[in-house]
Amino acid sequence: MSALSVDDLSVAYGRRRIIDGLTAQPIEAGRVTALLGPNGSGKSTLLKALAGLVRTVSGNIRLGTQDLTHASFAERARHVVYLPQSLPASVHLRVFESVLVAAHAQAQATHRPDLDAVEALLERLGIAHLASAYLDQLSGGQKQLVGLAQALIRRPRVLLLDEPLSALDLNYQFHVMDLLHQETQAHGLITVIVLHDINIALRHTDHALMLHQGKLLTDGPSADVISSETLRTVYGVQARVERCSHGFPHVMIDALDTAHGSHPGSQSS
């Protein structure tokens, strides 16, 4: 299974550089990778760069031996699916129809799920009861779940998710992250997800990249990346990572780090 590699990547909006010379360890298939950092650290911009939605100033993005940096949008779309935080305005389609359309969106797709596969995915996501509902009648959280179904049904090699939990309640947050982990392992996906909830990242992701002011501070196993030191440097908080009675790590914030200065998220997007 190929890895996703990022080497010396820089992205700018006009004259303002958002990502500056970012090089990361290869992002491996079969595990869920979190993009972490405060508001303005460059997480969404990096995700869009991986999806080919913003132009890069320099650097390379590779999927195995394939150069994605200079690939056409159509070529990249064969392998990479991007789910934005804010979904486009809904069309008057039923949920089931929209997922089926997504499954057949690529003319040269090698995997074409049938009706049973769409129904099974909606069931796993807990939204089978919405199959006949129209997209423009759904709540924000329901639309996010349908968007996730549209992404997963295409079986991409790379799945890029920008805060897919933002409109979901606690039950669905846990459910979605658990399902993403299962799908990622079962199908050998490279799943990269922007998260703001550090504890969700600790519990549900295998690997993490911690961004700070457009640069990569550190990457590696999530439990190693999320530490008292990185939380102080990046988020400006005094925090501890402790284990609960079930053995899961959990971040406890004690206070703001007064020596940190201004709010950490004030530069990029």
What does the pLDDT average to over 261-268? 52
Percentage of the chain beyond pLDDT 90 is 83
SS3 string, 138-207, reads CCHHHHHHHHHHHHHCCCCCEEEEECCCCCCCHHHHHHHHHHHHHHHHHHCCEEEEECCCHHHHHHHCCE
What is the tens place of the pLDDT at every residue in 84-137?
987 777 678 999 999 999 988 754 445 566 799 999 999 999 999 999 999 989
What is the tens place of the pLDDT at every residue in 191-219?
999 999 999 999 999 999 999 999 999 99
pTM for this prediction: 0.92
Judge whether residue 44 has pLDDT over 90: yes
Percentage of the chain beyond pLDDT 70 is 92
Judge whether residue 269 has pLDDT over 60: no
Judge whether residue 179 has pLDDT over 80: yes
Q: Where are the domains of the chain?
A: 91-153
